[in-house]
A and B are shown apart, each in its own frame.
Chain A
Amino acid sequence: MLDNVFQKTLRDQKVSGAAWMAGILAITAYVIFLYPVIADQADLQRFIDELPEAIKAIAGGVLDYSTPNGFLSAQFFSMMGPIIFIVYAVIHGSGAIAGEEERGTLALLLSNPVSRRRVLAHKAAALVFGITAGAVVLWIGLAAWSLAAGVALRFGLAAQGCFSLALLGTFFGMLALAAGAATGRRGISSGVAVAVGVTTYLLNAFAPLVSWLEPARLVTPFYYYQGNEPLLHGISFLHAGVLIAASAVLLGCAAWAFERRDLSR
């Protein structure tokens, strides 16, 4: 059905979305089936404990391989997961307005009686929907493969990790959406989002090692994503709230900028 911009946007992502979710299922299978192999190697945790702090930091901070949740937190949720979700979010966030504008179909869409704000709201909703669906599939994959492999994953905490990842993805999706809505340029939009992503990832990873840099963690989305180690301790409402609020502010900026500018094509 093509009743509105939301449905049209999701329909356009049918193939890419399905591929993305299949990829998530494949990666979760790899990570979960890898766990029993790693857990059997008693020496590994001792080896990890002796690693320099800088190595641990870039690999994701706390490296606790003694439980499935600890292993997942370090092996998947610290780097691979964010990359998968941020890439998806940035591709679709920058495509939402800027992509349609560069293809030239935005003028045709906006010649209908729909306000710019409405188009933006629908595009943002489709973006959040896609990211959330990915997070749900991620949890289903982790849970299903854990059952199949006999891994004692704590499902509730895993769900909170997936939720936190969805929030991180949403933040970067909204960042790309806002940059695209403000400029109409897909390249600028994804460039800004990726630059912010890489910078804040490194800042969050290394700030704890440098005393004067430590407070800087508080401005990185990664801190609010994983600072509380949701896979081990559950999500912090405060941290989740910060990511949600930041995403909402970005969406507000997107609406503000989009409303005020000339369409480029």
Chain B
Amino acid sequence: MNAVNRPAIATEGLTKYYGNVRGIEGVDLEVGRGQIFGLLGPNGAGKTTTIRLLLDFIRPTRGSAHVLGMDARRKSVEIRRRAGYLPGELAIYDNLTGVEFFEYVSRLRGKVEPPDLSAICERLDFDTRRKLGTLSRGNKQKAGLIQAIMHKPDLLLLDEPTSGLDPLVQEQVHGLLREAASRGATVFLSSHILSEVEELCERVGIVREGRMIAVEAVDDLKRRAVRRMTIEFAEPIDAATFERLPGITEIEVRGRQVRCRVVGSLDSVVKAAARFQVENITTEEPGLEEVFIEYYSGGPARNAR
């Protein structure tokens, strides 16, 4: 297999301890080319550690990582030539304007400024003339994203890319990332927000306490997504209507209101409810913890390791 056909990211038993403190433990991961892969987990789970290992900012205690078919340790400069990175806690050169910053990054990459830089800035509504130090957190985040994406890298490593951005801009960022993937780039991002990962990614790795507890397609994740649903009917309803529906548990009936927990598709619940007069339906996004509980309570087969 030549380097081009190798996965964009491949780790074997990747482990990092900071002294006695666990970073990640025995992570085996493979991310194919052109994928949008999401690393999902709560803060402190080891997402940032994983990305920093891939960029050779930190060195593994055990195990190895290959990025774009190259050894993460020995070929780091070559990897970084073809990768774009957005740090999680973005600190940026406050004394430079956006124009100067992008020029600097371009020169470090030995290139002239990318021709479509101004188009990207315009799409994200980013003012390049202001000093970066005067910008809001969200606008700094935009500057960080632009410098990562502007030179059309083969791999994007993004640590919580949309944190601090308002929903409208998040949507635009998602658009940019999808475009990058559609021209063949691999996008590897971390997030602690399930809905973002569900919307954007094709595959998801779920990390908890330094371990990759599952890797699966987003469609499978959705199929098992846990949601809390509240339905209000025009008149009091009988709990029996909803019992024995697939995937439904914890049914609670209070007069005209039914609350329940649904795993996977909402189809059967909605269809059952539709036989009555419905006034309102609300669903609650499951928290990450709930997703994890699913995995811990001996959920479906995992293909993580």
Contacts and interface: CB of A to CB of B under 8 A. Distances in A.
Interface of A: 2-5, 8, 12, 103-105, 107-115, 262-263, 265
Contacts of A12: 95
A2 B84 CA distance: 20
Contacts of B110: 113
22 contacts: A2-B107, A3-B107, A8-B93, A8-B104, A104-B87, A104-B89, A105-B93, A108-B85, A108-B147, A109-B108, A110-B55, A110-B80, A111-B55, A112-B105, A113-B77, A113-B78, A113-B108, A113-B109, A114-B108, A115-B76, A263-B58, A265-B91
B137 interface: no
Q: Which 10 A-B residue pairs are closest in the complex by CB-CB distance?
A: A104-B91, A111-B85, A113-B81, A262-B58, A112-B108, A2-B104, A263-B57, A113-B80, A3-B107, A107-B87
Interface in B51-91: 52, 55, 57-59, 76-78, 80-81, 83-85, 87, 89-91
Q: Which of A8, A104, A107 has the most CB of B within 10 A?
A: A107
A265 B89 contact: yes
A112 B57 contact: no
Interface in B112-158: 144, 147-148
Nearest to A107: B87
Given A111-B148, A113-B81, A113-B110, 19 more contacts: A2-B100, A2-B107, A3-B107, A103-B91, A104-B89, A104-B90, A105-B92, A107-B52, A108-B87, A108-B91, A110-B80, A112-B80, A112-B108, A112-B109, A113-B108, A114-B77, A115-B76, A263-B52, A263-B57
A192 B15 CA distance: 33
Contacts of B59: 262
B87 A2 contact: no
Nearest to B83: A111
Contacts of B198: none
Contact of A110 (B57, B92, B147): B57
Contact of A4 (B78, B91, B107, B147): B107
B294 interface: no
Contact of B57 (A2, A103, A113, A262): A262
B162 to A, nearest CB: 18
Contacts of A262: 18, 57-59
Contacts of B108: 4-5, 109, 112-114
A96 to B, nearest CB: 15
Nearest to A260: B59
A8 B103 CA distance: 11
A12 B96 CA distance: 9
Contacts of B148: 111
A105 B96 CA distance: 12
Indicate the member of B58, B83, B84, B87 with the most A CB atoms within 10 Å.
Answer: B87
A228 B144 CA distance: 53
A2 B77 contact: no
Interface string B220-257: 00000000000000000000000000000000000000
Contacts of B76: 115
Nearest to B88: A107
Contacts of B91: 103-105, 107-108, 265
A8 to B, nearest CB: 6
A3 B105 CA distance: 9
Nearest to A5: B108
B109 to A, nearest CB: 6
Contacts of A115: 76-77
A186 to B, nearest CB: 14
Nearest to B101: A2
Nearest to A112: B108
B265 to A, nearest CB: 41
B144 A108 contact: yes
B60 to A, nearest CB: 10
A103 B76 CA distance: 23
A122 to B, nearest CB: 10
B163 to A, nearest CB: 15
Nearest to B108: A112
Contacts of A114: 77, 80, 108
A3 B111 CA distance: 10
A99 B262 CA distance: 52
Nearest to B105: A112
Contacts of A265: 89, 91
Contacts of A113: 77-78, 80-81, 108-110
A212 B193 CA distance: 69
A75 to B, nearest CB: 37
A113 B58 CA distance: 16
Q: Point out which of A2, A4, A263 has the most chain B C-beta atoms below 10 A from its C-beta.
A: A2
A101 B54 CA distance: 19
Contacts of A108: 85, 87, 90-92, 144, 147
A114 B80 CA distance: 8
A24 to B, nearest CB: 24
Contacts of A110: 55, 57, 80
A103 B87 CA distance: 13
Contacts of A105: 91-93
